[in-house]
Amino acid sequence: MGDLGWIRRHLRRVLLGGTAALLLAPLLAFVIGWLVFPVPDVDEAVNNQVALISYSDGSELTRLVPEAGNRTKVQLAQIPVPVRHAVLAAEDRSFYSNPGFDLTGILRAVWNQLRGGDGGGSTITQQYVKNALVGNDISLWRKYRELIVSVKLVQQRSKDDILTDYLNTIYFGRGAYGIEAAAQAYFGKHVTDLGAAEGALLAGVIQGPSRWDPALDLEKATQRWEFVMDGMASQGWLSAAERSSSRFPATQPRRLPSSGSFGDERGHIIDSVKSELESLGITDREVAQDGLRITTTIDRGQQGAAVAAVRRAFAGQPDELRAAVVTVDAATGGIRAYYGGDDGVGLDYAQVRKQAGSTFKPFAVLAALLHDPPAPIGQVYDGTEPSGRPGADGADCPRCDVTRAMTISNNAVFLKLALRLGPEQVAAAARAAGITSPLDHPDERLALGNKEVTPLELASAYATLADGGVWHAPHVVARVVDGDGRLLYDAGADGASAGDRRFGEQVARNVAETMLDVAAYRGLGIGTPVAAAPGTVPSRIAGETNDAWFGGFTPAMATAVWIGTDRNSPLRTSSATSITGSTLPGRVWRDVMATAPQLPFGPFRPIGEPAPDLPSGTPTRRQPTEGP
């Protein structure tokens, strides 16, 4: 009996202790949180939303800080009452009566998360706190912090002050932080001039600017607007007559800021990052609000080399010259250097289509090798024009094989090659390598680059040749993590770096073989074997040039360089000499490729045997050698 009494007393103590712990633990957690978590101010709330963009090594490239024009603080009195009511109807109808948090919503969030689902809803106070703390993580820890700071905030600030701070920090899409910037972005008005219908549209986009912007999805935006307007009417903030007479408001065309305050060459990288994030399903709102940490594929050293090379080449040259440089990692498709011009808010020349000139000749060679039967690079062709003159550019080669024709730039050989294969075959080969621009209705001049492509496309297609016929999607985003450390995207894990075999390794190596003597022949060697091709696009004015290119690759990376003008005017240096692919573009290319990893080309095994009966006599072939 004594033992039984002892057990009962022991159980009673355990139960009392457990009950006390259950009661005291939340209180203790609340006290600790109250002491530890500070109340953020309105500027901190915006700054904590800022996305950090870094180079591939993790060093900072830039931060996406809102421009002054994209965030303007206003006082609550400047925000019309119907606009305030619209926000409350959309986000928190009990804002002025609740204690700053929704206990039901928190309990629902806990229950959902314990079951592996998403969280519950939040009050306006909680939303403001969440943004200030960069707390978009779906976790009990975030809800705990959110609850504590929300209660502290209500104790220290009035509801009017909280609403004012919320409306000055929330992101509305279109690059607009705060209600005043949103009024300008959507309606071209000051917030003081907005009515209930316009306020309802802005209130409706808060939860999902990428879903409910009428410029992106008018039907969904209208449904959301109806929901907000009905909510205002149900709360008595809008009369029945006002509700029935209201019409969905017209908005301005959607214009996103191109690259914030990045007026230098970084602006084009930022625009490329934003565009790629959107294609990955990472919304404009997430970029603007979730404190993302975005690692790019841009190599800090190679980017610096590209920018420095252009500035050296352009020193003392005419102001109208423009340039683009793109370097692509052959093994992954990651863009290692990206220069679209010094004006980060101007035209991105890395994405501008221009005639490619002779940088397209390797795709004619590729087409020949993919033909059935393949036309070998050792085949000798008639290198004269119909008039009997040598092919072009002083290329004195009446009878030469493809490698010699590529080296000295004999155009006649490639025109005849394209005619023999069919221009559509050259276009198909270029597409296989990675050219995505339209190559519609080609003729034999496609082998000489009479169709337009971008520097980015050319670098990507050359990278396919460099990687033995494996195409990798060119990309600039390597990894994205949100403000709470959650991995949102990884280019390797998500397949962006995975390759697609487009043609055989031996075929790619044969194309490269025809290009290996070009750089040295042009005085642009880099001390390691490199495949290259210049491109010079003639002007309508005889003897002049409109566009000049130089492209090439090692087995590790490919670089394309373009130089031209905005008006397609003849290219001349400050000393009035004509600019060709092997002059300024070639020098820029050489300086950039000097940073390339020193990887050797694989052994060369020729494809096919030359035919004995092509025009202009008995063919003789350049004897191939093992290696480059």
Active site residues: 91, 358
With contact defined as beta carbons under 8 Å apart, do 196 and 85 qualify?
A: yes
Phi, psi at 215, each rounded to 5°: -70, -20
Exposure string (b/e) for 284-300, b if CB count within 10 Å is 16 or more?
Answer: bbbbbbbbbbbbbbbbb
68 by Cβ neighbours in 10 Å (0-12 / 13-18 / 19+) ranks as exposed
Q: Directed axis angle between helix 103-114 and helix 140-156, to 10°?
A: 170
For strand 477-481 and strand 487-490, is the pairing parallel, antiparallel, or unpaired?
A: antiparallel
With contact defined as beta carbons under 8 Å apart, do 343 and 335 qualify?
A: no
Q: H or E element: which one contains 369?
A: helix 361-370
Residue partners of 145: CB distance under 8 A and separation at least 6: 33, 37, 129, 133, 135
Q: 62: which 2 tokens?
A: 């830039």
Q: 482: which 2 tokens?
A: 């949100």
Please provide the DSSP assignment of 542-570 as one string: TT-EEEEEEEEE-SSEEEEEEEE-TT-PP
With contact defined as beta carbons under 8 Å apart, do 380 and 401 qualify?
A: yes
With contact defined as beta carbons under 8 Å apart, do 374 and 348 qualify?
A: no
Cα separation, 136 vs 51, whole angstroms: 13
Query: Nearest-CA neighbor of 405 among 548, 619, 627?
Result: 619
With contact defined as beta carbons under 8 Å apart, do 135 and 142 qualify?
A: yes
Residue partners of 106: CB distance under 8 A and separation at least 6: 120, 143, 147
Cα separation, 592 vs 475, whole angstroms: 19
Classify the phi-psi angles of 608: left when phi > 0, otherwise alpha if psi is within -120 to 50, otherwise beta. left
Q: 114: which 2 tokens?
A: 């314990």
Q: 343: which 2 tokens?
A: 């004006």
Cα separation, 608 vs 416, whole angstroms: 19
Q: Residue 623 gets which letter from DSSP?
A: P
Three-state secondary structure of 206-266: CCCHHHHCCCCCHHHHHHHHHHHHHHHHHCCCCCHHHHHHCCCCCCCCCCCCCCCCCCCCH
With contact defined as beta carbons under 8 Å apart, do 334 and 297 qualify?
A: yes
Q: 473: which 2 tokens?
A: 């999607």
Name the β-bridge partners of 452: 355
Q: Cis ω on the peptide bond leading into residue 390 (within 30° of 0)?
A: no
Torsion angle of the four alpha carbons 467, 471, 474, 475, in this order, in degrees rounded to the nearest 10:
-90
